[in-house]
Amino acid sequence: MTGTSRSLFGTDGIRGLANQHPMTADVAMALGRALTIELKRFHKNPRIIIGKDTRRSGYMLEYALTAGITSMGGKAYLLGPLPTPAVAYHIRGLRAQAGVMISASHNPFEDNGLKVFQEDGFKLSDEAEARLEAIMFDPDEIESQRPSPEQLGRAERVDDAMGRYLASLKTIFRHDFDLNGLKIVFDGANGAAYECGRRLFEELGAEVIRQACEPDGFNINKNCAQEDPKIMGDLVRKHSADIGIAVDGDADRLMVVDETGELISGEHLLFELGMFLKKANRLATNLVVTTSMSNQALEKALKSNSIDCLQTQVGDRYVTQALKEKGAVLGGENSGHIIFLDQNTCADGLFSALEVLALLRTRSWKASRLRKSFERFPQRLVSLPVREKRPLEDVPILNQAIRDLEIRYEGTGRVNVRYSGTQAMIRVMLEGPNLAEVESDLSSLIKIVQKELGS
């Protein structure tokens, strides 16, 4: 697929408020048509996987997407509610040519999104997305490719899509790997993994206490660990559990709390996993890929253990791209996206959890040991709503404040101010040697952001 420009697609597919442009049934149908038309250049009867999370708007978008695919002669395979990485798995397992996940990930239920995966299970490139957009808004192209009645496609539900996905996760590990004797609090964010997370850990022998595993179409990412890690930490202490494991709405992110209920940072998880893979001779090119939002103490800790560290811009797709370019296998974000490129094509919260549990079992560690390998530098991150995403260079007062802080923190810390790629939010992150100074400077910066850009 080739193309030049994009307007619908953002940093993680198409995303927006459900039933308002661009997250409408019309756009979903147009995407289904365009994807099928593009694939028919190479495949006579393209197969396309469709997965979704638990948002009420998923029904509308699922059926519209299916209509678009079948109206152009494609075959749609419907998985129902399953994690995003399950779409990537089933593309390969069912020998399909593409897949679409209907989800807005960690966003509230009002939002939804469309993430497109290609035949090898990786997300589409910017160029491929631009090509799809060009077809979506080209009525002449659509009419010229419209099939006759006997050439229309069809749709079918995939039998035991969950069981197949879970089997694929378990078979990656040694046959003697189990979770017997472990008590796990699992928080499913009332999302795509609400059932398969419990099944996975129970089938491996763990006792599972469930939290946020009762989706009603409106409570995804609500009253759960993704909203407040303390919720899971309190449950771990209440039930004397060994560990707490949480995923977000589409289960591509992982959050872990230890047996004392304390959150383990994404940096600590990446560090220990890097060390674990290195000892197992799995850490290809001796490199871990992170993003510009990761705490600098992670890079220092990795390098002190002779592991290289490369930072990319924020976004799991950019981490994946760097891993492919460098021939590396482990990368992630402090938000919980962790990618094992030797096993998967995208971040998978449940698989990442199994890797963490395998590490703990192999080393006979309690989960709290994971956060004792190094001290993170004082860092604070806040997300603030904005009226509009004005270029920061067009906000002189804020721009000057950022420059002043960058000069003062040079060599000792970092300032990172960026818009969210998926929400009307701005992320403000400060990191430095002194916590009180970081919090004071952050407070001043927040006031400027709220005055100049706040909703």
Using an 8 Å Cβ cutoff, are 346 and 252 in contact? yes
Beta pairing, strands 98-102 & 111-118: antiparallel
Residue 139 tokens, joined: 């009525």
- Secondary structure of residue 101 in the 3-state scheme: strand
- Is-catalytic flag, 455? no
**Pseudo-torsion of CA 168, 51, 331, 229, nearest 10°?**
-100
Q: Bridge partners of 207?
A: 183
- Residues 249-283: b if buried by 16+ CB within 10 A, e if exposed: bbbbbbbbbbbebbbbbbbbbbbbbbbbbbeeeeb
Maximum Cα interatomic distance, the chain, rounded to a whole number of Å: 70
The amino acid present at 210, given as its one-letter code, is: R
**Token duo for residue 202:** 């129970």
Phi/psi for 322 (5° steps) reads -65, -40
Cβ burial, residue 214 (10 Å; 0-12/13-18/19+): exposed
Query: What residues have CB less than 8 Å from 163, skipping those under 6 apart?
Result: none
Using CA atoms, how far residue 313 sits from 26, 205, 292, 319, 441, in Å, is 32, 39, 6, 8, 24
- Angle of helix 25-39 versus helix 126-136 axis, rounded to 10: 110
Give the three-state DSSP class for 404: helix
Q: Which of 57, 103, 105, 420 is catalytic?
A: 105
Query: Cβ(26)–Cβ(20) under 8 Å?
Result: no
The two tokens of residue 379 are 């860092």
Q: Buried b / exposed e across 308-323, counting CB within 10 Å, b at 16+?
A: bbbbbebbbbbbbbbb
Pairwise CA distance, residues 207 & 140, whole Å? 58
CA contacts within 13 A on the Cβ side of 39: 28
Residue 42 CB contacts under 8 Å (≥ 6 apart), including other chains: 97
Contact of 221 with 194, CB cutoff 8 Å: no
Give catalytic residues, as residue numbers.
Answer: 105
